[in-house]
Amino acid sequence: MSDKRFTKDHEWVSVTGTTGIVGISDYAQHALGDVVFVEVPDAGRVLAQGAEAAVVESVKAASEVYSPVSGTVIAGNQAIVDQPGLVNESAEDRGWFYKITLSDPSELGALMDRAAYDSYLKTLE
């Protein structure tokens, strides 16, 4: 089991070996409201940390998903493209956005763990 690491922009990444799974946090899906559209990156795309990787839209808001880590995309999650509501139902599990091969695992050190993210969320209230 891997632990999730979070960004201040509410992305998470969960890493096993050098493979990461990226999504948006439950807080983020709640803030957006009903998700109606997502765009996920194609396999093979090379992303730098912080680069625009995906798009998520609700009825009244649109937001970019920034890659929490650098690497090469393995696959986007077609399930959320077909059924965007999955992001609301299961943001931190089945509603993941893409899988990525990390090129620099040391980047993870700068991301927040769950406890740090939770206290960060408290500062936003």
Partner 1 sequence: MTETNTISGNRGLQVEEPLIFEMGCEGRSGVDLPDPAPVDLDRLGGVPRRGKTGLPDLSEPQAVRHYTRLSQKNYGIDTGFYPLGSCTMKHNPRLSEKVARLPGLADLHPLQPQQTVQGALEVIHTLAHWLKELTGMPAVAMSPAAGAHGEWCGLMAIRAAHEDKGEGYRRRILVPESAHGTNPASAAMCGYSVESIPAKENGRVDLDALKAKLGPDVAALMLTNPNTCGLFESEIIAIAQAVHGVGAYFYCDGANFNAIVGRVKIADLGIDTMHINLHKTFSTPHGGGGPGSGPTVLSAALAPYAPVPYVIESAGGLELVEGARAGTKPFGRVKGFHGQFGVFVRALAYILSMGSDGLRQASSDAVLNANYLLACLKDVVSASFDGPCMHEALFDDRFLKESGITTLDFAKALIDEGYHPMTMYFPLVVHGALLIEPTESESKETLDQFIAVVRGLAARARTGEAEGFKAAPRLTPRRRLDETLAARTPVLRWKP
Partner 2 sequence: MRYLPLTESDRSLMLAAIGASDVDELFCDVPAAARLDQPLALPRHQGEMEVERAFTRMAGKNLSAGCAPFFIGAGVYRHHIPAAVDQLLLRGEFLTAYTPYQPEVAQGTLQVLFEFQSQVAAITGMDVANASMYDGATATAEAVLMACRITKRNRAILSGGLHPHYLETVETSLRYTEISADVLPPDPLGFEDLVGRVDSSTACVVVQNPGFFGGIRDLGPLAAICHEAGALLVVMVAEPTSLGLIQSPGAMGADIVVAEGQSLGMGMNFGGPGLGLFATRDKYVRQMPGRLAGQTLDVDGKRGWVLTLSTREQHIRREKATSNICTNSGLCALAFSIHLTMLGGTGFGKLAELNHAQAVMLEQKLKAVKGLKVLPQSYYNEFAVHLGDEVNAAQVVDKLAAKGVLGGVPASRFYPSWPELAPVLILAATETNTDDDMDRLVAALKEVL
Residues that bind partner 2 (CB under 8 A): 37, 57-62
One of 84, 86, 100, 102 touching partner 1 (CB under 8 A) = 84
Closest CA to 56 of 78, 80, 27, 22: 80
- Pick between residue 84 and residue 95 the one whose CB is nearest to partner 1: 84
- Pick between residue 63 and residue 83 the one whose CB is nearest to partner 2: 63
Q: Two tokens at 71?
A: 């690497």
One of 43, 46, 51, 59 touching partner 1 (CB under 8 A) = 59
Percent composition of the chain: helix, strand, coil (DSSP 3-state, to 5): 25, 35, 35
Part in contact with partner 1 (CB under 8 A); list of ranges 56-64, 69-77, 99-107, 111-119: 56-64
Going by C-beta distance under 8 Å and a sequence separation of 6 or more, which residues neighbour residue 120? 6, 8, 112
- Pick between residue 55 and residue 74 the one whose CB is nearest to partner 2: 55
